[in-house]
Amino acid sequence: FFSAWFGLTWSAMSATTSRRPVFYPNPSPSAGEPFLRGHCSGLGDGPVTVTPCDTGGDPVQLTAADVCPRSEAEPEEGVADAASLAFLNEPSLLDNIARRYAHDRIYTYVGPVLLAVNPYKTLAELYSREAMDAYRGRAIGVLPPHVFALADRARRMILSDRRSQSIVVSGESGAGKTESCRAIVDYLAHHSREEAEDLCTAMLSASPLLEAFGCASTLRNKNSSRFGKLMRIWTAAGGASFSHSSIETYLLEKGRVSNHAPGERTFHVLYYIAAAAAAAGAGTDATAAAAAAAIDWAPLAAVTEAARGGGAGAFRLLCPSGEAAQGGDAAPHDEAWGSTSSPAAEFASVVSALGALGASRGEVQSAAQILGAVLLLGNLHFADDEQDKAKVADERRADLEAAAALLGIGAAGLEQRLTSRTVHSGRGSMYSVRYDRSLADGARDGLARELYERLFGWLVRRIN
């Protein structure tokens, strides 16, 4: 149907004008927009001559298949629903999104689909309580495009049809999936009945926890989710109130614990606890004091000493090549996170969110100790013994003992597991195989990754 409509429209234009407005491919797309505006002459399937509008350059020769029709009647600020464009083709769609983006209109409909473009700045009024109230009960299209409109439609469909609804949020890294999911949950919680207040608080507390433990800074995105997530929300009272919720996670990128590309970071919470450890007892920051009050830092003395002496640079997992942390401290954030953000404050928020979910002080302490053990394990390196086999280097033996104590095991046993493996023969006997330094490095990083993955799994179960 679309092909027939497109062909008829194009033929009608061809019959009425000899200079048709078109989009054509930019010969140097890496230097600018992928498509440029122009006017073309020529009919049929043969070559066409396009005169550029944007560059004022010389006419170019193209084929009819290279150009797409363009309307000159679209408003400067774009249209709210791209399905209403005169020509629904790729260049027109991109041009409309760009027009809207220039006016801070980051949402655009394409029929029932909502397109969102990351504004890379705070648009607080867009997600205010007043905006939530405005979209309640309003059909899609009555108000400007918004993620709240989709959330409200799902809510109203549950109330009217009593059938389950799904919202799929997809996109490339940095597109804003995490923020969109957070806005949807915030909207649904805002309009849930008061008897579900405790559940709503727990659901809203879960988001920053999953971000702290499951997100990391990459070259493209300062808060990139390194796992997949499916959230289910069950309703009661005919859909007017939440009854319970659950979260499933998929494919945590646990390799990021020990390895990440230059300029990228490991998971946020490891920076948070390093910063909080450095500030613990210093008395210079109220947020650090709040975090310190919830954690017994005595077992984490090795972590606090290292963090106070060298910040993030004191831990190999945070700064693999020993370079200074971005921004000069242990934070995984820069100005994109806002000037008020600090890693010590974020750690206090993590502790508070765990409490809101009902985690005991003992559970919070255990989680902190596992994170500390992961950081200390990352600092271990190995030397050759007299048999050219790996052993923990003497200068790192204190880190080995501290990590073992945090995990509740003996230092000798931990070293044995890091430097050897037990082989079971087919005849029921067992023998030990010693590692060289390369294999010991792999065992160390593997243990750090496994500890972190299991802590993340515990967190998800605790949230549920």
The DSSP code for 313 is: G
* Residue 327 · residue 343 · CB < 8 Å: no
* Residue 52 · residue 73 · CB < 8 Å: no
Beta bridge partners of 48: 62
d(CA 64, CA 343): 56
d(CA 24, CA 40): 9
Determine the Cα angle at 212 with ends 211 and 214, to 5°: 60
Closest CA to 6 of 79, 62, 64, 60: 64
pLDDT at 5: 41
For residue 270, the surrounding DSSP H or E stretch is: helix 268-279
- Over residues 223-263, the pLDDT tens digits come to 899 999 999 999 886 767 788 899 999 989 999 999 999 88
pLDDT at 341: 60
d(CA 298, CA 284): 19
When computed from its CA atoms, the radius of gyration of the chain, rounded to whole angstroms, is 28
Does the model's pTM come out above 0.85? no
- The alpha carbon of 270 is separated from its chain's Cα centroid by a whole number of angstroms, namely 16
For residue 230, the surrounding DSSP H or E stretch is: strand 228-236
pLDDT at 329: 43
Note down pLDDT in tens along the chain; length 464 residues: 334 444 444 444 444 446 889 999 988 877 678 999 999 876 567 788 898 986 667 888 898 889 999 999 999 999 999 999 999 999 999 999 999 999 999 999 999 999 999 998 999 899 999 999 999 999 999 999 999 999 999 999 998 988 899 999 999 988 999 899 999 999 998 988 766 778 888 888 888 899 999 999 998 888 899 999 999 999 886 767 788 899 999 989 999 999 999 889 999 999 999 999 998 856 555 555 555 567 999 999 999 999 999 989 999 999 875 444 443 344 444 333 233 368 888 999 999 999 888 899 999 999 999 999 999 999 999 999 999 999 999 999 999 999 999 999 999 999 999 999 999 887 888 989 999 999 999 999 999 999 999 999 999 999 99
pLDDT at 282: 62
Which residues, including other chains, have CB under 8 Å from residue 16's CB and lie 6 or more apart? none
